[in-house]
């Protein structure tokens, strides 16, 4: 990874058609930019999906990215959302090792982060945490010392605050 | 391995069943509103007004060819390599302004189109490519002659689509043509599996278009236009930097009107040649790497630059940070993504060049620029394009100059890529748009001759000539047979320097003259032309040039290959070396 690390968020509304994800991802790849996270899911309109893409690109290039994305025929809207007030969330599932000795400790950490325990065995505990990516990062780093067996993160999803559309 | 063999047999079996929906079944089927996908395709093409398509058949496109067999009003031109089909479609489109169409079979046929499609993408040429695909049940199984063509062409098309139902073909075709020719034009590919071509359906042919994600902005913002006019009116050293977008938009008259009203000089890009009459006193010819010294000096010194239908290509700007360092940029383009891509625009205007320039031409106020013109005219006098005529060697530039004079700059010229391309750009003074057709963005050798064929099919009543290098001509020369077969009046001038001239030039300048793999052994092009059924003329001495050019230009009903043995050492100047600035320009002294 390059010295300078940037994370720019682009929110993209696309028609739910075959190959759209490849087109969007390919367009980014062709510009030699790393995709930090990409989440896709349906919107209020089943024919339309929203992609939230976090890319490693300097802020001055983000708008030019959004412009290129808008050129894709299936892209209905592409916004570089940095700079506008937004709500950003990510969900992570984390499976950590537990022993009778560490179980309570981990539950306490989970409590602070408002994480849910979604599965428990005598040797593992699975936790679900939601929040801004930094919060998830912090939670993960606290759990590291217990031994994270597996983890899955959704990548960031974002909406603009207030009545205005993202 | 066993799997593979079975797949092949499977495909072969399907091929032999292709005639099922053949000609005998058709008239009735059509009356009943039923037809197969291939027939729906041909009908859709007819409705788009397609008169000519360039192509080469193969297994996956057999049903399409069967439907073409009795298509009325559509001429299929059989080329001998699919690359030629794509280049010809581009030549057709750029000469005529209509959408060019090419077609190929699956796998190797489609991959042979790739260079031509990329050229169309880079130079914003409206073409539609129709490819056969393996049947739906075997897609993704590495079937015989399968290639992921929509995947391969994703970055080189404006849009592409794999049609999975025959009934969807009319809409896919209608959208393809619409996308190809509107907004910023470009190539669109429609991939049709063979069994979709064979599938019976009752298609509807839509007139309307509904593509929610595609809304080109055509009218420039009035506020931005007002700011632009104000900047131009107050400028001391303004210049218009005009490109291929003017030609796509059909904005030549508006550009000329604006220039005449304001007396602002106009420099053209390679793709912009023809956007304004180059013999017009306000026109400074081509700028850029091999452009005129005066155009390059002028843009470098400008205080306000009106850039229209251009993309600040590195062949124009050289080192970006040193390009026109004192200028404020007004940038007009139909493609918002071009604005600010390479150079920040102080006044961006998204819109159709014709509409925006029409408004500007009507409202513009002329700046006070007498001193500026005095300066430009000094440069013009001091640094004209020039060349030496030697007694024993034919000068490339002389040939280009003479072609300009003999045609009056009114023929449609296509070029290949290399030194001859730049010499033609320097010496051929286009009088009107759509007369200079060259592979600008991609720089694809092999383009020139096929593009001329396409141009001739698109504009049969116009004089069309091809100027090619000996290297590039060899890349698509096999299609001389196609030009001969159709009796095209098409002179092809081979500026033969027995070298990959432009490579040799770079090696001479930048690699201490180490001519690595740039010297060619060539066939006798005139006799090769004759073997294909063309007329052949060989020119070895300067005094033979003019009679040969005249004879070729007068040849009717048959292509004429003129093999002109030119000075093998001539370099193309002036030149701003790649990635450098105007200060490093190599002059012709
Ligand atoms: C398909 C392709 N391969 C390689 C090149 C690189 N290239 C640019 S110019 C040139 C030399 C062309 O030689 P020729 O056709 O004889 O024209 P000349 O420069 O001599 O006029 C080459 C090899 C290219 N532009 N296109």
- Check residue A82 and give its pLDDT: 84
Q: How many A from CA of B154 to the centre of ligand 1?
A: 26
Assess whether A93 and A151 both reside in one domain.
yes
Distance between CA B290 and CA B279 in Å, rounded? 18
Domain B222-382 belongs in CATH node 3.40.50.300? no
Polymer length of chain A:
166
* Neighboring chain B residues of A74 at a CB cutoff of 8 Å: 213
Kindly indicate the confidence band of residue A5, based on its pLDDT and cuts at 50, 70 and 90: low
Residues A43 and A103 in one domain: no
Q: Is A165 within the bounds of a domain?
A: no
Task: Report how many domains make up chain A.
Answer: 2
Cis check: omega of the bond before B518, within 30 degrees of 0? no
With CA atoms as reference, the chain B residue closest to A77 would be B213
The domain of A70 spans 6-84
Residues A117 and A77 in one domain: no
Residue A1, domain member (yes or no):
no
Give the tens place of pLDDT for each residue, B396-446: 999 999 999 999 999 999 999 999 999 999 999 999 999 999 999 999 999
CATH of the domain at A93: 3.30.70.1150
Nearest CA in chain B to A31: B155
H helices of B97-131, in order, are 108-112, 114-122
pLDDT score of B2 more than 60: no
Confirm whether the ipTM is greater than 0.85: yes
List phi, psi (to 5°) of B329: -105, 130
Contacts of B162 in chain A (CB under 8 A): 18
Q: Over the Cα atoms of chain A, what is R_g? A: 18
Gap from A14 CA to chain B (nearest CA, Å)? 8
B154, A23: Cβ pair inside 8 Å? yes
Residue closest by Cα to atom 13 of ligand 1: B500
Instruction: Quick: pLDDT tens for B354-391.
Output: 999 999 999 999 999 999 999 999 999 999 999 998 88
Q: Which residues line ligand 1 (CB under 6 A)?
A: B 416-420, 443-446, 469-472, 495, 497, 499-503
Q: Which residue of B has its CA nearest to A63?
A: B337
Q: Residue B22: is its pLDDT beyond 50?
A: no
Same-domain check for residues A144 and A76: no
pLDDT of B17 above 50 = no
Mean pLDDT of B88-115: 98
- Contact (CB<8Å) B159/A73: yes
> How many angstroms does the Cα of residue B7 sit away from the middle of ligand 1?
41
* DSSP 3-state of B441: coil
Q: How far apart are the C-alpha atoms of B275 and B242, rounded to whole Å?
A: 7
pLDDT value of position B478: 98
- Asked if the structure places residue A97 within a domain, the reply is yes
Q: How far is Cα B562 from Cα B161, in angstroms, rounded to an integer?
A: 42
A111 contacts chain B (CB < 8 A):
no
As to burial, measured by CB atoms within 10 angstroms (0-12 exposed, 13-18 middle, 19+ buried), residue B283 is: buried
Per CATH, domain B396-565 is 3.40.50.10860: no
The answer to whether the CB atoms of B337 and A64 lie below 8 A apart is: yes
CATH number 3.30.70.890 is the correct assignment for the domain at B8-201: no
Nearest by CB to residue A74, choosing from B151, B213, B341, is B213
- Which of A63, A84, A105 is the last residue in one of the domains? A84
Domain boundary residue, one of A84, A113, A138:
A84
**Within a domain: A109:** yes
Q: How far is the centre of ligand 1, averaged over its atoms, from the C-alpha of B140 (Å)?
A: 37
Under an 8 A CB cutoff, do B155 and A26 touch?
Answer: yes
Query: pLDDT for B341-353, tens place per residue?
Result: 999 999 999 999 9
> How do residues A80-136 score in pLDDT, each as one tens digit?
998 889 999 999 999 999 999 999 999 999 999 999 999 999 999 999 999 999 999
> Which chain B positions have a beta carbon within 8 Å of A63's beta carbon?
340
The pLDDT value given to residue B385: 96
**Is pLDDT at B19 greater than 50 in this prediction?**
no
| pLDDT (tens digit per residue) in B215-265 | 999 999 999 999 999 999 999 999 999 999 999 999 999 999 999 999 999
State yes or no: pLDDT of B28 exceeds 70.
no
Give the residue from B265, B330, B327, B285 showing the smallest Cα distance to B431.
B285
Please state the separation of Cα A109 from the chain's center in Å.
22
Q: What is the token pair recorded at B225? A: 């236009």
pLDDT over 70 at B18, yes or no: no
Domains of chain B, by residue range, sit at 8-201, 222-382, 396-565
Mean pLDDT score, B50-61: 98
CA-nearest residue of chain B to A66? B337
Average pLDDT over every residue of B169-180? 98
Q: Note whether A73 and A100 are same-domain residues.
A: no
Residue B16 has pLDDT above 60, yes or no: no
Q: Do domains B8-201 and B222-382 have the same CATH topology?
A: yes
Residue A3 binned pLDDT confidence (cut-offs 50, 70, 90) = very low
Task: Specify the 3-state DSSP secondary structure of B125.
Answer: coil
Q: Which of B449, B471, B566 is the pocket-test mutation for ligand 1 (most atoms within 8 Å of CB)?
A: B471
Is residue B71 pLDDT above 80, yes or no? yes
Q: Is A23 on the interface with B (CB under 8 A)?
A: yes
Interval B251-282: pLDDT, tens? 999 999 999 999 999 999 999 999 999 999 99
Minimal CA separation from B469 to chain A, in Å: 32
Residue B88's SS3 state is helix
pLDDT at A59 over 70: yes
* Mutation site for B-interface testing, chosen from A20, A62, A67, A71 by largest number of B Cβ within 10 Å: A71
Q: Nearest CB to A71: which of B151, B162, B337?
A: B337
DSSP character for B80? S
Taking phi first (over 0 means left), then psi (-120 to 50 degrees means alpha), and beta for anything else, what does residue A72 get? beta
What pLDDT band is residue A66 in, cutting at 50, 70 and 90?
A: very high
Distance between Cα B67 and ligand 1 center (Å): 39
Residues A129 and A102 in one domain: yes
Per-residue pLDDT at B73 exceeds 80: yes
Mean pLDDT across the stretch A43-52?
Answer: 96
Residue A4's pLDDT is 56
Residue nearest to atom 20 of ligand 1 (CA): B501
> How remote is the C-alpha of B34 from its chain's centroid?
38
Torsion of CA A52, A56, A61, A64, to 10 degrees: -40
Find the residue in A nearest to B153 (Cα): A23
pLDDT at B390: 87
Q: Between residues B163 and A18, which one has the greater pLDDT?
A: B163
Q: Which atom of ligand 1 is nearest to the CA of B418?
A: 19
SS (H, E, C) chain A: CCCCCCCEEEEEEEECCCCHHHHHHHHHHHCCCCEEEEEEEECCCCCEEEEEEEECCCHHHHHHHHHHHHCCCCEEEEEECCCCCEEEEEEEEEEEECCCCCHHHHHHHHHHCCCEEEEECCCEEEEEEEECHHHHHHHHHHHHHHCEEEEEECCCEEEECCCCCC
Dihedrals φ, ψ of B440, to 5°? -85, -60
Is residue A115 one of the residues assigned to a domain? Answer: yes
Q: Do A53 and A110 have their domain in common?
A: no
Q: Which residues contact B370 (CB under 8 A, 6 or more apart)?
A: none
Q: Domain check: are A80 and A95 in the same one?
A: no
For residue B588, the model assigns a pLDDT of 83
A166 in a structural domain: no
Kindly report, residue by residue over B500-525, the tens digit of the pLDDT: 999 999 999 999 999 999 999 999 99
Closest ligand 1 atom number to CA of residue B473 = 15
Q: Which residues of B touch A15 (CB under 8 A)?
A: 212-213
Contact check, Cβ <8 Å, A22/B154: yes
What is the DSSP code (8-state) at residue B445? T
CA-based angle B16:B19:B24, to the nearest 5? 160
- Return the ∠ at Cα A152 (arms to A149 and A157), rounded to 5°: 155
pLDDT at residue B12 is higher than 50: no
Contact B229, B359 (CB under 8 A): no
On average, the pLDDT of chain B sits at 94
pLDDT band with cut points at 50, 70 and 90 for residue B558: very high
How close, in Å, is residue A73 to chain B by CA atoms?
A: 5
Cβ-count burial A1-35 (b if 16+ within 10 Å, e if not)? eeeeebebbbbbbbbeeeebeebbeebbeeeebee
Q: Which of A84, A100, A122 is the last residue of a domain?
A: A84
């Amino acid at each position: 990874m390059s010295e300078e690390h940037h994370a720019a968020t682009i929110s993209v509304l696309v028609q739910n058609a075959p190959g759209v994800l490849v087109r969007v991802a390919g367009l980014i790849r062709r510009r030699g930019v790393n995709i930090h996270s990409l989440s896709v899911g349906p919107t209020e309109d089943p024919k339309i999906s929203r992609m939230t893409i976090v890319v490693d690109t300097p802020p001055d290039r983000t708008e030019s990215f959004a412009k290129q994305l808008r050129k894709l025929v299936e892209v209905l809207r592409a916004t570089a959302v940095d700079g506008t007030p937004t709500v950003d969330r990510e969900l992570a599932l984390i499976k950590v090792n537990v022993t009778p000795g560490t179980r309570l400790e981990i539950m306490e950490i989970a409590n602070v982060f408002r994480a849910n325990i979604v599965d428990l065995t005598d040797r593992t505990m699975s936790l679900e945490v939601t929040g801004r990516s930094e919060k998830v990062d912090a939670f993960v780093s606290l759990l590291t010392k217990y031994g994270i067996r597996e983890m899955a993160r959704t990548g960031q999803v974002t909406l603009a605050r207030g009545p205005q559309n993202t | 391995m066993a799997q593979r063999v079975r797949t092949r047999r499977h495909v072969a079996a399907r091929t032999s069943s292709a005639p099922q929906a053949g000609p005998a079944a058709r008239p009735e089927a059509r009356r009943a509103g039923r037809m197969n996908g291939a027939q729906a395709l041909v009908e859709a093409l007819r409705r788009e007004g397609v008169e000519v398509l360039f192509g080469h058949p193969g297994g996956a496109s057999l049903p399409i060819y069967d439907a073409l067999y009795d298509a009325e009003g559509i001429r299929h031109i059989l080329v001998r390599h699919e690359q030629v089909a794509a280049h010809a479609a581009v030549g057709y489109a750029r000469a005529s302004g209509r959408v060019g169409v090419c077609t190929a079979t699956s796998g190797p046929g489609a991959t042979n189109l790739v260079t031509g499609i990329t050229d169309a993408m880079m130079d914003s040429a409206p073409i539609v490519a129709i490819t056969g695909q393996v049947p739906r049940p075997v897609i993704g199984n590495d079937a015989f002659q399968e290639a992921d063509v929509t995947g391969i062409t994703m970055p080189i098309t404006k849009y592409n689509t794999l049609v999975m139902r025959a009934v969807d073909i009319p809409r896919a075709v209608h959208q393809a043509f619409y996308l190809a020719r509107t907004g910023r034009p470009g190539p669109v590919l429609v991939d049709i599996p063979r069994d979709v071509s064979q599938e019976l359906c009752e298609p509807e042919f839509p007139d309307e278009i509904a593509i929610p994600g595609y809304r080109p902005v055509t009218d420039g913002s009035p506020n931005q236009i007002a700011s632009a006019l104000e900047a131009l009116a107050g400028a001391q050293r303004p210049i218009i930097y005009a490109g291929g977008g003017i030609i796509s938009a059909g904005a030549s008259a508006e550009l000329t009107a604006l220039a005449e009203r304001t007396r602002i000089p106009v420099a053209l890009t390679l793709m912009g040649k023809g956007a304004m009459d180059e013999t017009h006193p306000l026109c400074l010819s081509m700028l850029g790497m091999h452009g005129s010294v005066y155009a390059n000096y002028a843009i470098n010194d400008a205080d306000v630059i009106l850039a229209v239908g251009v993309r600040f290509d590195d062949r124009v700007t050289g080192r970006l940070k040193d390009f026109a360092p004192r200028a404020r940029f007004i940038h007009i383009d139909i493609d918002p993504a071009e604005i600010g891509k390479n150079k920040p625009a102080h006044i961006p205007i998204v819109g159709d060049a014709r509409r925006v320039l029409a408004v500007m031409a009507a409202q513009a106020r002329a700046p006070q620029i007498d001193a500026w013109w005095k300066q430009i005219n000094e440069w013009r006098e001091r640094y004209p394009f020039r060349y030496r005529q030697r007694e024993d060697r034919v000068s490339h530039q002389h040939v280009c100059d003479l072609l300009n004079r003999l045609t009056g700059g009114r023929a449609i010229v296509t070029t290949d890529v290399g030194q001859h391309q730049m010499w033609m750009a320097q010496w051929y003074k286009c009088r009107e748009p759509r007369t200079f057709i060259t592979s600008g963005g991609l720089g694809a050798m092999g383009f020139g001759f096929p593009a001329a064929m396409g141009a001739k099919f698109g504009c049969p009543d116009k004089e069309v000539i091809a100027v090619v290098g000996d290297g590039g001509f060899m890349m698509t020369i096999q299609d001389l047979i196609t030009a001969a077969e159709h009796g095209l009046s098409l002179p092809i001038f081979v500026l033969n320097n027995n070298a990959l001239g432009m490579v040799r030039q770079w090696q001479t300048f930048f690699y201490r003259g180490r001519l690595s793999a740039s010297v060619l052994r060539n066939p006798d092009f005139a006799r090769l032309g004759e073997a294909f059924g063309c007329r052949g003329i060989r020119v070895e001495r300067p005094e033979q040039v003019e009679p040969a050019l005249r004879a070729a230009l007068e040849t009717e009903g048959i292509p004429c290959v003129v093999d002109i043995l030119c000075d093998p050492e001539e370099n193309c100047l002036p030149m701003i070396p790649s990635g450098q600035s105007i200060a490093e320009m190599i002059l012709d002294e």
